[in-house]
């Protein structure tokens, strides 16, 4: 069936109905806009799955709001009583014990000799300018802290050589601590970080998507439809179903994908990333911990992190998410991976006699982009060219960066204001 939008010109064509695309649409909702989304439902990476009474997201999606306006905007459109505010309880699984996260601030919880090694190495560090993420870690924290946690953990997460990442690859999400802070913290522990508390809707991250959908007209969101080509000269987008003329195009698809839609040349290796295989696992009874999530630096465990939904939303059956970082070209054998995960969960005493009664998996690809100087430079140059053509690439993958959903919303709101102002 041909829709009434065929060949019509829209002021704003938005590609992707994830947090970024929907946030942008919320600010231009009185204008002539259209959203094209390839999936059968909106939400992007913030979708929620419900199975046998378990509520799971694509992966642990918790919300560390720093901007009250954004928090209020969302909560006004939600059932507030179904949103929990939680004081974070996150730990590191280290040699069959748990130590508080972040590692570098909690070395006093290590066995005495290991604590001493960490301190000795911290006193020895020479502050030279790091050329990579790996060098930043060694330069700032010394050998012991780096090799006990920071390097193995991040190698598992990013699935790449950390020497290929920029020193600021994780931006504000990397909990930095000076020697003075580490020593002060040993004497007076206070685990504040960018995400000391978080909020979470009991019915999953998708509730935030419903809030963003609340004021939008459903006929302006074309689901199950993929943009496949863009002609920037004639400002025309081609989907698998129709042709759409636009004045401005807002894209939240991964940046390299946008470049290929517009036939802009680029080298694939300049935009590398990992993928994350996520298992959501539902058990018949509770586990034996009150943690919200646990980091696993040891490579003998397949996953880099697991989290307990049941401890966050207070349920009486253990409900876990398990995250495995992989190279994008690595084959995924779901059955083999699940069996390894269950074994490793037993090895780490996360499961004892609980029985698995429901499961789900998803591959997030891309998941963590590999940020380095070269990719950032190319991104900025291409972005400038695209802006001149009326194309704006936003979001975590459109912007090829590490950020949170709150950052996505702020960026989309700011861009809409800027573009509306430019047309007045």
Residues found near ligand FAD in the complex (CB under 6 A): 15-21, 36-39, 44-46, 59-63, 226-227, 252-253, 276, 323, 364, 367, 395-397, 403-405, 408
Burial readout 76-102 (b: 16 or more C-beta within 10 A, e: otherwise): ebbeeeebeeeebbbbbbbeeeebbbb
CB of 44 vs ligand FAD, minimal distance in Å: 2
CB of 107 vs ligand FAD, minimal distance in Å: 26
The residue (of 75 and 403) whose beta carbon lies closer to ligand FAD is 403
Distances (CA, A) of 265 to 137, 260, 394: 34, 7, 19
Q: Within 13 Å of residue 409, how many CA atoms lie on the same side as its CB?
A: 21
The residue (of 102 and 142) whose beta carbon lies closer to ligand FAD is 102
The residue (of 166 and 323) whose beta carbon lies closer to ligand FAD is 323
Q: How many CB atoms lie within 10 A of CB 245?
A: 15
The residue (of 59 and 319) whose beta carbon lies closer to ligand FAD is 59
User: What is the Cα–Cα distance from 304 to 235, expressed in whole angstroms?
Assistant: 43
The residue (of 141 and 397) whose beta carbon lies closer to ligand FAD is 397
The residue (of 147 and 406) whose beta carbon lies closer to ligand FAD is 406
- Find all residues with CB under 8 Å of 248, minimum gap 6, and list them: 11, 12, 13, 390, 391, 392, 419
Looking at residue 11, what DSSP letter applies? E
The residue (of 14 and 99) whose beta carbon lies closer to ligand FAD is 14
Cα 243 from chain centre: 32
CB of 17 vs ligand FAD, minimal distance in Å: 5
CB of 98 vs ligand FAD, minimal distance in Å: 21
Asked if residue 296 lies in contact with residue 351, where contact means CB atoms within 8 angstroms, the answer is no
CB of 408 vs ligand FAD, minimal distance in Å: 5
CB of 325 vs ligand FAD, minimal distance in Å: 9
CB of 16 vs ligand FAD, minimal distance in Å: 3
DSSP string, 296-310: ---TTSS-SEEEEHH
């Amino acid at each position: 069936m041909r829709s009434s939008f065929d060949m019509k010109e829209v002021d704003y064509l938005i590609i992707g109905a994830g947090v970024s695309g929907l946030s942008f649409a919320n600010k231009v909702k009185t204008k002539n806009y259209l959203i094209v989304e390839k999936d059968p439902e909106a939400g992007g990476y913030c979708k929620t799955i419900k199975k046998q009474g378990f509520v799971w997201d694509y992966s642990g999606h918790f919300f560390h709001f720093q901007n009250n306006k954004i928090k209020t905007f969302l909560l006004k459109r939600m059932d507030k009583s179904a949103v929990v505010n939680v004081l974070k309880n996150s730990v590191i699984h280290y040699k069959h014990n748990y130590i508080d996260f972040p590692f570098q601030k909690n070395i006093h919880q290590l066995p005495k000799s290991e604590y001493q090694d960490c301190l000795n190495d911290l006193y020895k560090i020479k502050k030279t300018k790091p050329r990579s993420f790996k060098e930043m870690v060694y330069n700032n924290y010394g050998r012991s802290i780096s090799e006990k946690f920071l390097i193995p953990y991040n190698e598992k997460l990013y699935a790449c050589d950390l020497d290929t990442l920029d020193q600021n690859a994780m931006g504000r999400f990397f909990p930095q601590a000076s020697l003075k802070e580490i020593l002060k913290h040993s004497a007076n522990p206070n685990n504040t970080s960018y995400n000391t508390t978080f909020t979470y809707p009991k019915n999953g991250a998708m509730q935030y998507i419903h809030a963003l959908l609340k004021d939008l007209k459903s006929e302006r969101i074309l689901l199950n439809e993929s943009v496949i080509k863009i002609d920037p000269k004639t400002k025309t987008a081609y989907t698998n179903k129709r042709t759409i003329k636009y004045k401005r195009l807002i894209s939240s698809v991964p940046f390299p994908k946008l470049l290929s839609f517009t036939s802009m040349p680029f080298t694939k290796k300049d935009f590398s990333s990992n993928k994350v295989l996520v298992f959501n696992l539902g058990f018949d009874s509770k586990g034996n911990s009150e943690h919200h999530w646990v980091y696993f630096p040891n490579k003998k465990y397949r996953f880099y992190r697991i989290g307990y939904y049941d401890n966050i939303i207070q349920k009486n059956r253990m409900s876990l998410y398990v995250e495995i970082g992989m190279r994008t070209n690595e084959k995924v054998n779901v059955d083999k991976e699940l069996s390894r995960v269950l074994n490793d969960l037993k090895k780490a005493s996360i499961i004892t006699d609980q029985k698995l009664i429901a499961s789900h998996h998803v591959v997030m690809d891309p998941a963590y982009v590999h940020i380095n100087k070269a990719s950032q430079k190319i991104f900025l140059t291409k972005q400038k060219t695209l802006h001149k053509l009326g194309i704006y690439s936003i979001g975590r993958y459109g912007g090829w960066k590490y950020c949170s959903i709150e950052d996505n919303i702020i960026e989309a709101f700011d861009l809409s204001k800027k573009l509306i102002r430019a047309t007045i």
